[in-house]
Structure 1
Amino acid sequence: MSATHTLIIAAVCIFDDDGRLLTVRKKDTSMFMLPGGKAERGETMAQTAARELQEEVGIVVEPGDLMPLSRWRGAAANEPDTDIDVELFTAIATQRPVKAAEIGELVWIHPAEVGARTDIAPLLTEHVIPNIRR
């Protein structure tokens, strides 16, 4: 079945010193994903990623400090009949994340743990995790 529409988003990968990836689960959803979201009018994708990171987990980074990582298109985690077209960035966080905005839970996940979980978004299982495993 083909998706009926596509969301264009920016998302950010943040790792801690133990190699774990910061993931978030929005309120009233079941899948963990990266912090990120849709652009507001006139924003670049880097500006979107920086704004969403601050709104969702309280981490402040300048758009110019985000490092482009890749682009991916696939199934949206929590929205049926929807694909996402996501521009991925990485960032170095100097602040401790805290759940804010629409975030219900935040969890640091080690890449080796992903295979045993059923609550991880396709972006992570199909693209991010396979490409960061060492």
Structure 2
Amino acid sequence: RRFIQPGGKPEPGEAPLQALARELDEELGVQLRAETAIALGTFEDWAVNEPGHRVQAQAWWVQVDGTPQARAEIAELAWVPLQPPYGLPLAPLSEHHILPAVATRVTAR
């Protein structure tokens, strides 16, 4: 019922950007341009699909090749503005951490 960022857990021996590249391909059908990756930080907040649990994520600002499409467990895609109001129900990690980190990065450019 809430929109979340694409991503997932690394497989054994998989580096963070390798995991992100795999997840972006599986979930959105796009290819990560690893040379463009900028680490935004590691963030923690309440999990959307596991009440009472928290989720921790490394977030990256990246460029991709391809057109994003809902695949795998993704039911719907949406573009949201970097500044509130977002207009959609978002996961706490996205709303309170990732989008503000990207907005800060964009305005600093």
- TM-score after normalising by structure 1: 0.69
Q: 1:21-32, aligned counterparts within 5 Å? A: 30-32=1-3
Q: Which structure carries more strand by proportion?
A: 1
2:93 counterpart of 1:123: yes
Percent of aligned pairs with the same amino acid: 32
Q: 2:80 aligns with which of 90, 104, 109?
A: 109
Q: Equivalents in 2 of 1:114, 1:77: separation in Å?
A: 19
- TM-score after normalising by structure 2: 0.83
* Range 47-56 or range 62-71, more displaced: 62-71
How many residue pairs align between the two structures? 104
What is the Cα-based RMSD across aligned positions, in Å? 1.8
Any stretches of 5+ residues in structure 1 without a counterpart?
1-29
Q: Quote the offset at 1:94 in angstroms.
A: 2.7
Higher RCO (CA-CA < 8 Å; seq separation 6+): 1
1:44 maps to a residue whose letter is: A
Q: Equivalents in 2 of 1:99, 1:115: separation in Å?
A: 20
1:126 maps to a residue whose letter is: H
